[in-house]
Amino acid sequence: MAKELLSQADGYGIIIGLSVVFCLIILAAVRIQKRYLAEDSDQSEMFMVANRSVGLGLTASAVFSSWMWINESVFAAAYTYKWGVALPIWWAAGLSFQIALMAVLGILAKMRVPNAHTSLEIIKIRYGKYAHVVFIVLNIINNIFGCGSMILAGSQLVTGMTGMHVVAAIILIPAGVVIYTAVGGLKATFLTDFLHTTIALILLAYFSIAVLTNEHIGGVHSLYEKVKAANVNVPGNYEGSLLTMKSRSAVLFGVVLKFGNLALVLMDTAFWQKTFASEVKATVPAYNLVSIVILAIPWCTGTIIGLAARAIEKTPIWWDYPNVLTLKQVNSGLVMPYVLRSLLGRGATTGLLVLIFMAITSTVSSSMIAVSSIISLDGYRTYINPRASDRKTLQVSHLGVVFHGLFMAAFAVMLQYAGATNNWSTYFRPIVACPGILPMIFTLFWSRQTKLAAILSPLLGLVSGLVTWLSLSWYYGGAINITTTQTQLAGLYGAVVSFFSPALYSAVISLIWPSRFDWREFLRIDLIEDETSNDSSIKSKLSSSEAVNAPCATLPSNNEKKLYSTGGEKQIRTASPTPGIHKAQAKISLDDVVHPFDEATLLYIRRWLKIAIIFFVVNVIVTCILWPLPLYRNYIFTKSFFTGWVIMAILWQFGAILAVVVYPLWDGRKDISQAVRGIGSELRRGK
């Protein structure tokens, strides 16, 4: 029996205490927003897409927060322990380009579907009811497995650290999130996301540096020597070394991760919703910034802490000395907690518990908003009560949050008793979550994907992926069970088939029975808001056909710079493209549909789209090819190369803090000072 790192009281205290603190913070934040910033989460447009007014800093922080899972914060160290320095790089490369791709889709959606609230609404407008239902199911499957496996992994980790009953952790962790998300809506999650990100990033930077400089590690040179002296033999690595990029297991893991993470972004309405919620000028820079700085998390933390475990595991400083970690403990993510407990003591280990709580709750809250939007908008308002008022839609959203929270807890308990672990989910999830990705991308990019193709191709892709995965599990393992279905190659081929085959099915079906979609149909999506008219919205004089059909047209230099970059706050806000109210568009002829954005805004969007596409291509080339592949050779890091590598990783970590913690405060300084002045004058009046 391993020595416990913390007591059960620590576990209960942190989870319940932080839940209460976050609920109080969010209640205060909602009140401040309503009173001093004229932002009211009691309106659906605000609750679901934050009035499409969130700026660069807060968008970047929120996207980062939703994307920084305990996987890379904690599990990357565990997998680095197993496979060495190659793992964090493949992990980092598996986190970045997905967010860059979301920038492309988000800005294209802003132009083609400016009033969208969820990605599924887009499917419904284009293909109708059956495709809508198929994609609702695919999104919910993705969400349930993504969110459920994370709650489970986090709870197993908390149990491993404190001895707290795993079911108690599974129920208590989402409980607080349900309350604050139901109260605050999307904008509230933007604010809690900021807090989560700030605390988590500061803790991660502290852990890495404190471990590296601890007397038992002795700095980067000494870490290198200790790892070499540990003389670990990793099967599949060049010369069995932990210090080589040539690691078969790390590469296979990294490739599966890329598919799974692509689904976690594109098939999660939360990431779409954050693009809808952001201002036009914020979407692309915010997402691209995140795609760059997220690399730091597995790279810095994974490398330093994963290798530090190897350096001290067989020495008396190790918390559980003379016992070393079992494979089960490693797969449960316990490498980082053991390193922190051994080197930094109880306080740091408690800090890690705080970080784990933060990382889980920020992802769970955005998942809740996403699913509640599906329930209220895609389910209730579409099929049950199309004439639902704003208030009623919002009530259903709130109920959706509660329902999803309860369901996720039950689902995670089910996974626990079925014997699933984070490792199993990593290989299984891409197979069920990937089939909708390419048909979803085609929905915005390819006018010739037909309704039948959109309905059948993901379903055929799902069946093809499952058949590939299960038959290869049987082929490699001689049976189909929870162990053989975690075989790396079976998971990889299953994911490849699940991801790519729908493109083939879609192309074949679309070409056999061709038809063409008129992009102007997308302009028929209404705002939910029905009373608060926005007088400043400037409508396009372009025909809607011109407006939506030329996503990458060459642009003349225009006066939008005045509006978006150099203008004062007022000017920017006025031009900030909150789409105009055009409820009536659903009924009028396509030739009369008017795009809600003015010409300057549309030109501006097209320029961002071009930048987003170029950035995405460069990102894939750099993170997936130029960075890792030249190092995939018979080479073991030298001491000086390793030193440079670790220093770069630490600098990247600080870059992340600047980008998603410091910059959002600067970006939001006007709102912050307005709120502070409002509170101050109210206090002075003695209210």
Question: Can you state the percent helix, strand and coil of the chain, rounding each to 5?
Answer: 75, 0, 25
CA distance 179 to 222: 47
CA distance 132 to 124: 5
CA distance 577 to 362: 28
433 or 548, CB closer to ligand NC(N)=O?
Answer: 433
**Is residue 72 close enough to count as binding ligand NC(N)=O by CB under 6 A?**
yes
Please give the single-letter amino acid code of residue 165: H
**Is residue 71 close enough to count as binding ligand NC(N)=O by CB under 6 A?**
yes
| Closest C-alpha to 269, from 429, 506, 49 | 49
264 or 462, CB closer to ligand NC(N)=O?
Answer: 264
**Is residue 261 close enough to count as binding ligand NC(N)=O by CB under 6 A?**
yes
From 67-75, 213-221, 241-249, 383-391, span contacting ligand NC(N)=O (CB under 6 A): 67-75
Beta strands per DSSP E along 348-442: none
A 10 A CB-CB count for 217 gives 21
The DSSP call for residue 543 is: B
197 or 376, CB closer to ligand NC(N)=O?
Answer: 197
46 or 364, CB closer to ligand NC(N)=O?
Answer: 364
CA distance 456 to 461: 8
Binders in 81-100 for ligand NC(N)=O, by CB under 6 A: 95
Binders in 317-356 for ligand NC(N)=O, by CB under 6 A: none
CA distance 472 to 541: 57
75 or 319, CB closer to ligand NC(N)=O?
Answer: 75
β-bridge mates for residue 278, sequence order: 54
607: which 2 tokens?
């320029």
Work out how close the CB of 146 gets to ligand NC(N)=O at its nearest, in angstroms, rounded to a whole number: 7
Binders in 263-302 for ligand NC(N)=O, by CB under 6 A: 264
The DSSP call for residue 30 is: H
**Is residue 80 close enough to count as binding ligand NC(N)=O by CB under 6 A?**
no
Work out how close the CB of 252 gets to ligand NC(N)=O at its nearest, in angstroms, rounded to a whole number: 17
| Closest C-alpha to 112, from 444, 389, 344 | 444
> Coil, strand or helix: which one is 403?
helix
CA dist 553 to 444, 616, 626, Å? 16, 18, 30
From 68-76, 486-494, 548-556, 634-642, span contacting ligand NC(N)=O (CB under 6 A): 68-76
Work out how close the CB of 69 gets to ligand NC(N)=O at its nearest, in angstroms, rounded to a whole number: 4
CA distance 452 to 411: 32
Work out how close the CB of 72 gets to ligand NC(N)=O at its nearest, in angstroms, rounded to a whole number: 5
358 or 605, CB closer to ligand NC(N)=O?
Answer: 358
71 or 423, CB closer to ligand NC(N)=O?
Answer: 71
Work out how close the CB of 586 gets to ligand NC(N)=O at its nearest, in angstroms, rounded to a whole number: 37
From 64-72, 407-415, 525-533, 546-554, span contacting ligand NC(N)=O (CB under 6 A): 64-72
**Is residue 637 close enough to count as binding ligand NC(N)=O by CB under 6 A?**
no
**Is residue 208 close enough to count as binding ligand NC(N)=O by CB under 6 A?**
no
Determine the distance from the C-alpha atom of residue 73 to the mean position of all C-alpha atoms in its chain, rounded to a whole number: 13
397 or 488, CB closer to ligand NC(N)=O?
Answer: 488
267 or 594, CB closer to ligand NC(N)=O?
Answer: 267
Those residues with Cβ within 8 angstroms of residue 457's Cβ, 6 or more apart along the chain or in another chain:
435, 438, 439, 502, 503, 505, 506, 509
Work out how close the CB of 71 gets to ligand NC(N)=O at its nearest, in angstroms, rounded to a whole number: 4
Among 69, 272, 319, 642, indicate the residue that binds ligand NC(N)=O (CB under 6 A).
69
Binders in 652-681 for ligand NC(N)=O, by CB under 6 A: none
Determine the distance from the C-alpha atom of residue 371 to the mean position of all C-alpha atoms in its chain, rounded to a whole number: 14
Work out how close the CB of 627 gets to ligand NC(N)=O at its nearest, in angstroms, rounded to a whole number: 18
Residues 661, 104, 578, CA angle at the centre, nearest 5°? 75
Query: Please, are residues 102 and 275 in contact by the beta-carbon 8 Å criterion?
Result: yes
From 65-73, 445-453, 528-536, 593-601, span contacting ligand NC(N)=O (CB under 6 A): 65-73
**Is residue 259 close enough to count as binding ligand NC(N)=O by CB under 6 A?**
no
Query: Please, are residues 376 and 403 in contact by the beta-carbon 8 Å criterion?
Result: no
Work out how close the CB of 16 gets to ligand NC(N)=O at its nearest, in angstroms, rounded to a whole number: 26
363 or 544, CB closer to ligand NC(N)=O?
Answer: 363
Work out how close the CB of 66 gets to ligand NC(N)=O at its nearest, in angstroms, rounded to a whole number: 8
The CA-based dihedral angle spanning residues 619, 623, 625, 630, taken in that order and rounded to the nearest 10 degrees: 140
Please give the single-letter amino acid code of residue 525: I
What binding mask, one character per residue, do residues 215-234 give for ligand NC(N)=O by CB under 6 A, x or -? --------------------
Work out how close the CB of 671 gets to ligand NC(N)=O at its nearest, in angstroms, rounded to a whole number: 28
473: which 2 tokens?
């599990």
From 63-71, 446-454, 498-506, 517-525, span contacting ligand NC(N)=O (CB under 6 A): 63-71
302 or 405, CB closer to ligand NC(N)=O?
Answer: 302
Work out how close the CB of 67 gets to ligand NC(N)=O at its nearest, in angstroms, rounded to a whole number: 5
Packing angle of the helix pair 8-36, 669-684 (nearest 10 deg) = 80
Half-sphere exposure at residue 467, Cβ-oriented, CA atoms within 13 angstroms: 8
Cis peptide upstream of residue 514 (ω within 30 degrees of 0): no
Q: What is the CA radius of gyration of the chain?
A: 25
Query: Please, are residues 211 and 339 in contact by the beta-carbon 8 Å criterion?
Result: yes
CA distance 36 to 55: 17
**Is residue 67 close enough to count as binding ligand NC(N)=O by CB under 6 A?**
yes
List residues near ligand NC(N)=O by CB under 6 A. Answer: 67, 69, 71-72, 95, 261, 264
